[in-house]
Structure 1
Amino acid sequence: MLRHIVLIKTDCPHEVDRLVAAVPGFIGRVPGLLQVEVGRDRTGLTRGYDRGFVMTFDGPDGLAAWDVHPDHDPIRSALMAVSEMIVFDYEV
């Protein structure tokens, strides 16, 4: 399995919340996407990256399918327009 973590810092929290709320809807539409978790920070130690999501894929091929999926670029572009992001992928 592979986890794809996206941490978000924004001055437009309502827009980011709206965009991130759509991410769980990709389950069943993106081959290899097994699970999505969306949340906000509870520690206050994030240097402003207080929103994020985790996508769990069945492996590197699942992440590769997400990279070229037609839903990926529009949400990535929309998030990049209103936020800064840190992306971290790792195998489990």
Structure 2
Amino acid sequence: MITHVVFFKLKDRSPESVKVTYDVLKNMEGKIPYLRHIEVGMDVLHQERSYDIALITKFDSLEDLQQYDVHPLHMDVKAHMKQVLDGTSVCVDFES
């Protein structure tokens, strides 16, 4: 299994804006066949070094992760993220 973890810091860090992006990410649940598990979390400490949202997804294989990356719904999510991100996201992909 491959675990894909991404952290996002948004331009607009207001609770309303963070919730909109949370909903965009959570909307992938059950809609992408390769996506075996999705967890989306919003930061509760709100420190300067904090990221606003964490995304944890799991896939059966690297090939499934690659298919997810080009899935039309994920492409829509990436377009949304490109508009709301403050810089770039950070991620780690590992075998679990």
Give me the TM-score of the superposition, normalised by structure 2: 0.76
**CA gap 1:91/1:82 in 2 versus in 1, 3 angstroms:** same
Residue type at the aligned position of 1:15: S
* 1:27-38 matched pairs, under 5 angstroms: 27-38=29-40
Aligned partner (choices 72, 89, 92) of residue 88 of structure 1: 92
Does 69-78 or 22-31 show the bigger shift?
Answer: 22-31
* 1:69 aligned residue (68, 71, 83): 71
Amino acid at match of 1:26: M
C-alpha distance in structure 1 between counterparts of 2:30 and 2:67, whole Å? 12
Aligned to 1:48: 50
Task: Quote the RMSD (CA, aligned, Å).
Answer: 2.2
Contact kept, 8 Å, 2:12 with 2:18, in 1: the verdict is yes
Pick closer, same or farther for the CA change 1:65–1:38 going to 2, 3 Å: same
Paired residue total = 92
Q: Larger % of strand: which?
A: 1
> Quick check: 1:16–1:82 contact (8 Å CA) kept in 2?
no
Deviation, 1:60, is: 0.9
Structure 2 unaligned regions, length at least 5: none
Q: Secondary structure at the match of 1:18?
A: helix
Share of identical aligned residues, percent? 28
Relative to structure 1, the CA distance from residue 44 to residue 17 in structure 2 (aligned partners, 3 Å threshold; closer, same or farther) is closer
Ranges in structure 1 where 5+ consecutive residues have no aligned partner: none
Q: Distance in 1 between matches of 2:38 and 2:48?
A: 21
Contact in 2 for aligned 1:38/1:54 (Cα 8 Å): yes
CA gap 1:77/1:16 in 2 versus in 1, 3 angstroms: farther
Letter of the 2:75 counterpart = D
